[in-house]
Structure 1
């Protein structure tokens, strides 16, 4: 059984940094994002870890875990919204009191995806893979990123539809900021192995492969138990993205997931756009996607709106999804079903 939080107008949002905090010279970005949320009527509780960063982490693991646990257990908060990802969230995964978590959304991506997946697998509480706090600091939101509020405001028993983005960002240009933060200049085209139209149906799970691979073989990555206890053995649609893995390392990581049983009862794979998908001795991302499609016998979509090349859809871990892709365009419909 999956439980779905609900984000309502005027809700309280907790901002904490379970991975990386924000260096002093970038504090203005956090303040700008907070101001945008407050202008929308949200009430903010900002933790101390947000403002510090030392040796690849916002604070020692026990400090990060204490602040995170306090917010997870606070019934007044409807959303936990980290400033961004980072490197070492894995250090706090075993320090979370999962049984004490009160229903609330957790939203983010990159290193945060370890927290998202662990919470959903351990508790059956839906979590949201999408924008980081820093991403919502713009004067306006692009239509894809801006859907995070609509998705998180969807009630249990309802559904929400997200189309693929019209345009995506090929490169950052920090010297020339845009009103919506991102520079969306390139036409989006979701691609399929073998071409043609694709339909997928199943429960969503996923995240950044660099990060979630480290949950394999731990109590916090027990996908088999989750399927049996929470999903009635429904198919899983995996949405995955690559931050900085070589194609050989990406292949090794995905084979490990397969050998661990993560791709058993798989209904399809979605791979986000990635700047890291550089060939290894001629071994290309497209080769990897084709091999997985053949090995698993499932449809594979790639260059989807997910991960480090913005914008990105908001994918809800645990939600049932129907995905239709045709001629480069796609629609993701998520059903908040128990």
Structure 2
């Protein structure tokens, strides 16, 4: 199953999603953004879910699916360990899905800018959890929220949407997780390239992340930012529930699907 596109109302599905049914009839579900709601319910049911491209945003890419996106899907659905890698190019340009003539015109991409390791001197390893930060916050206090114990030992992956939450707002959400005791239990943190951020906003985001982690006593936590997943193209597919290892010294992120 693949999400067609995101939105803002998947939370209305919560009364209709049966964890026992998901567990008894597991399917592979791929999506991101608002689909974080469904991804979390799969994880609560003990079924691996895939934070990755939707149909209209990357799979139906004008000019054909990007090789980086294709490779990320193939790796995530494979059986061998693999290293994540930075995209060679990226874009935030939109696509005109109604213009048939434009379907063969490739979007304009810019050279890849690599990852940024924010902190950490030792590797961290754990099961991968996360999604769109706005949707995870929307789930807070609802039956769809991941219980704190599922975060114990996890590597958290967070991405921001085209709503462009401010760096301070992201910091406030991180403080919320610190108040719940989540940050204190993590093994690592993956931050996506923030959608529509200026360089100044990105710098402020990194200040906030380090500030909140220091407040939580987690200056040791390995953190890598500007990773190619979420609201960016091309994007990686993250197999949520799989094991992942962050090695800040080697600059490697290894996944065991």
Gaps of 5+ in 1: 1-79, 228-232
Contact 2:171 2:209 (C-alpha < 8 Å) held by counterparts: no
Q: 2:226 aligns with which of 282, 300, 303?
A: 303
Question: How far 1:270 moved relative to its partner?
Answer: 1.3
1:286 is matched with 206
RMSD of Structure 2 on Structure 1 (CA)? 3.1
The SS at the match of 1:213 is helix
Deviates more, 1:169-178 or 1:258-267: 169-178
1:32 is matched with none
- State the distance in 1 between where 2:154 and 2:195 align: 26
Deviates more, 1:178-187 or 1:102-111: 178-187
> Any residues of structure 2 matched to 1:22-171 within 5 Å, and which?
80-101=1-22, 102-120=25-43, 122-134=44-56, 135-138=58-61, 139-155=63-79, 158-171=80-93
Contact 2:128 2:242 (C-alpha < 8 Å) held by counterparts: yes
1:240 is matched with 158
Q: What TM-score results when the alignment is normalised by the length of structure 1?
A: 0.64
Q: What TM-score results when the alignment is normalised by the length of structure 2?
A: 0.82
Asked if 1:318 is matched to 2:238, the reply is no
What is the aligned length? Answer: 245
Contact 2:222 2:248 (C-alpha < 8 Å) held by counterparts: no
Instruction: Return the structure number with greater relative CO, CA threshold 8 A, min gap 6.
Output: 2
Is the radius of gyration larger for structure 1 or structure 2? 1
1:272 is matched with 192
The SS at the match of 2:84 is strand
Output one character per residue of 1:49-105: Cα deviation in whole Å (capped at 9) or x when no partner.
Answer: xxxxxxxxxxxxxxxxxxxxxxxxxxxxxxx11111101001112321110121111
